[in-house]
Amino acid sequence: MPTLRDVLLDRTGLGPEQVEWLHLLVGDWQLLSDLSFADLVLWVPDREGGWIAAAHVRPTTGPMVFVEDMVGLHQENTQRPGITQAYADRRIVREGEPRWREAMPIREEAIPVVREGHPIAVLTRHTNLSTMRTPSRLEVTYLATADALARMVAAGDFPTAGAPTGRRRGAPRVGDGVIRLDVAGTVTYASPNAVSAVHRLGHGGEVVGARLEQLVTGAVREQEPVDETLGMVLTGREPWRTEVQNRGVSVTFRAIPLSETGQRTGALVLLRDVSELRRRERELLTKDATIREIHHRVKNNLQTVAALLRLQSRRMTDPQARLALDEAVRRVGTIALVHETLSQGFDETVDFDEIAVRALQAAVEVATRDAPVSGRHTGSFGRLRAEDATALAMVMAELVHNAVEHGLAAVGGSVTVDARRGSDGADELLTVTVSDDGVGLPEGFDEATSGLGVQIVTSLVQDLRGSITWSAAKPRGTCVRFVARLRSVRGE
C-alpha cells in the first residue's frame, strides 16, 4: 500500500510547500474526523487528470464507513463530480441525497484544501446516517466545531503552520475532553471528561460560564510551576499546548483557535488528565538513574579491586606471580571500562567503538618503548547490549594485548582492529579481525593447549555464540578473526 509521501511525490505535480501543507493536515486530521463522527479521505489531482486517494482516517468516536483502506484508489472526474466542483469553486459541496453503501446511507461532503488562496486537494467527509438519532448537546457541539474547522480548511486557515507543539507524549484527543470557548475565553461548553479533569485540578465550581483561564489559574497553588504560555492557551488565542500540575494531578491543554473569514470567533480546547502517565515517566527516570548509579558503583568497586591487585603485585618477588597479577589488573580494568560507559548512558546499551578505541590506546601505551607500536581501528562495532559488551571487551582486550605483547614486543609495528556489522537473517552478526605485522604465530600453535589468555578468549567467544580462527597474516604477522551473534538492541 502506498504511503502519503509516495502518492504526493510519485502521482501528483504538487510543489514542496504544498506537500508539506498536506502532511500538516493529515498529521492533525484525526481531530476533525472525531468531531465529525465521520471517515475522511484526502483526494489529490493526479497526473492522469483524475483523483487519487492519498490518505484515509476513521473516527474513534463513532462508526466507520469504509472497512477497506481507500489509499491508492483512483477516480475519474465524472465519478466524483462533488470533488471536482469543490476544487474548482473553492467551497464546501454537500451532496443532496445520501449514497447507499452496503445497506448504509452515507452523506458525503467535499471540502477544498486551500493553501495561500489556491486549492491543492479535496477532503471528503463520509458520515454513516444509519445510526443517526436525536443528537445530544455533546454531539451538536462536536458537529458545529467540526463544521467550523472544515470552513477553516477551505479558507486555508487550518492547519496552522509553524505552531509550537510542545511535548507530544500525552497530547489530548477529542475523547479525553473538549471545551468550547467564545472570543472572550469564556466556556460555552465542556464535555463530561473535561469537567472531571478541571475538577481534579482543584476547581470545585461550575465550568460552563466561567473564564477558563481564571478557573484554572485560581485552582493552581502558587508554589506550583506555571508554563508562561498558559494564558495564551487557556484563552484560546494561540494554537499551543501547555501542561498544568496541581495536587499531584497533571492535565495537558491544547488550544485550536477558530476563525471565520479571518476573524477569531472562539477556540476549541482539548484537555487530558495525564497524571498516571507522568507518574510512570518519573518511575522510569528513577529506574534509569538507579541503573546508572549501580554501574557507577560497580566500576568504582572494580577499580578498587584492580588497585589492590596492583599493590599486591608490587610486593611480589616471583616474576611469574607478578605477571599473573598484572594481567588480572588489566582484565578487571577492561570490565570496569564497560561499566563506566554504561553509567554515562540512558539504557542498557553502549556505543562500543568508544570502548574499542580506549582499549586499543591503553594496550599501545603500555607497549615496550624499544620497539614502537601503533594501533588503528577501522569499521564500526555500533551499539551493543551490556551482556555482549562485557564479553566482547574482554575478548578484544586479550587479543590486542597478545598482539602487542607477543607479536610486536621485539620488532615493533602496528595492530589493527576491524569491526563489521551484518546479519544472517536470524541474528545480528559482528565480525572482528585483530591483525598485526609482528613475528607471527609460534611453531606448533594449538589454541586448545595455549595459555590462559587464549582459553579466556575461546570461552568468551562461545558465550557470544560465535567462532574464532587464528591464522598467519601476509606478508607477516598474525590474523585473528571471530564472529559473534549479538543480542538485538532494537527493543532498547
* For the chain, the helix, strand and coil percentages under 3-state DSSP, each to the nearest 5: 40, 25, 30
Q: At 113, phi and psi to the nearest 5?
A: -100, 115
State the distance between the two ends of the chain, measured CA to CA, in whole angstroms.
29
Query: With 80 as the cut, is the pLDDT of residue 410 above it?
Result: no
Q: How far apart are CA 189 and CA 180, in angstroms?
A: 5
Instruction: Please state, rounded to an integer, the average pLDDT across all residues of the chain.
Output: 85
Nine-digit cell at 243?
Answer: 501542561
3-class DSSP assignment, residue 203: coil
pLDDT band of 384, cuts 50, 70, 90? confident
Least confident of 47-56, 186-195, 276-285, 367-376: 367-376
For residue 395 the three cell numbers come to 575478548
Say what the pLDDT of residue 166 is: 45
Residue 330 and residue 397 in contact, taking contact as beta carbons nearer than 8 Å: yes
Where residue 413 falls among pLDDT bands split at 50, 70, 90? confident
| Mean pLDDT of all residues in 212-241 | 81
The domain defined by 347-492 carries CATH number 2.60.320.10: no
The pTM is what? 0.62
The CATH classification of domain 4-136+149-154, taken from the options 2.60.40.10, 3.30.450.280, 3.40.366.10, 3.30.56.10? 3.30.450.280
| Mean pLDDT across 289-312 | 76
Q: In what order do the strands lie in the sheet with 241-246?
A: 187-190, 178-181, 263-273, 249-260, 241-246
**pLDDT (0 to 100) of residue 427:** 80
Give a three-class secondary structure readout of 337-366: HHHHHHHCCCCCEEEHHHHHHHHHHHHHHC
For the cut 60, the answer to whether the pLDDT of residue 223 exceeds it is no
Q: Note the helical H segments in 158-229.
A: 192-201, 212-219
* Distance, CA of 454 to CA of 438 (rounded, Å): 18
Would you state the pLDDT for residue 146? 95
CA distance 428 to 492: 15
Is omega for the bond preceding 81 within 30 degrees of 0, making it cis? no
Residue position matching grid coordinates 551482556? 387
Instruction: Report pLDDT for 367.
Output: 57
How far is it, in rounded angstroms, from Cα 153 to Cα 32? 10
Q: Give residue 345's pLDDT.
A: 63
pLDDT over 90 (residue 409): no
Residue among 154, 41, 157 at smallest CA distance from 91: 154
Q: Which residue from 438, 286, 430 is spatially nearest to 372, judged by alpha carbons?
A: 438
Task: State how far the Cα of 232 lies from the Cα of 257, in Å rounded to an integer.
Answer: 10
CB 8 within 8 A of CB 54: yes
Confidence of residue 432 (pLDDT cuts 50, 70, 90): very high
Is residue 398 scored above 50 in pLDDT? yes
Render 454-487 in DSSP notation, one character per residue. HHHHHHHHHHTT-EEEEEE-SSSSEEEEEEEEEP
CA of 269: how far to CAs of 107, 160, 196, 229, 235, in Å?
Answer: 28, 15, 15, 14, 9
How much is the pLDDT for 169?
Answer: 64
Residues 27-63: tens digit of each pLDDT: 999 999 999 999 999 999 988 889 999 999 999 988 8
**More reliable by pLDDT, 449 or 31:** 31
Handedness of CA 309, 311, 316, 319 (dihedral sign): positive
Residues 396 and 432: beta-carbon distance below 8 Å: yes
At 414, list the grid cell. Answer: 602496528
Return the percentage of the chain with pLDDT > 70, whole number. Answer: 90
> How confident is the model at residue 392, as a pLDDT?
85
CATH class held by domain 174-273: alpha beta
Per-residue pLDDT tens digits for 114-170? 999 999 999 999 998 887 667 889 999 999 999 999 999 999 999 987 665 444 566
Residue 20: is its pLDDT beyond 90? yes
Give the residue with greater pLDDT, 322 vs 267.
267
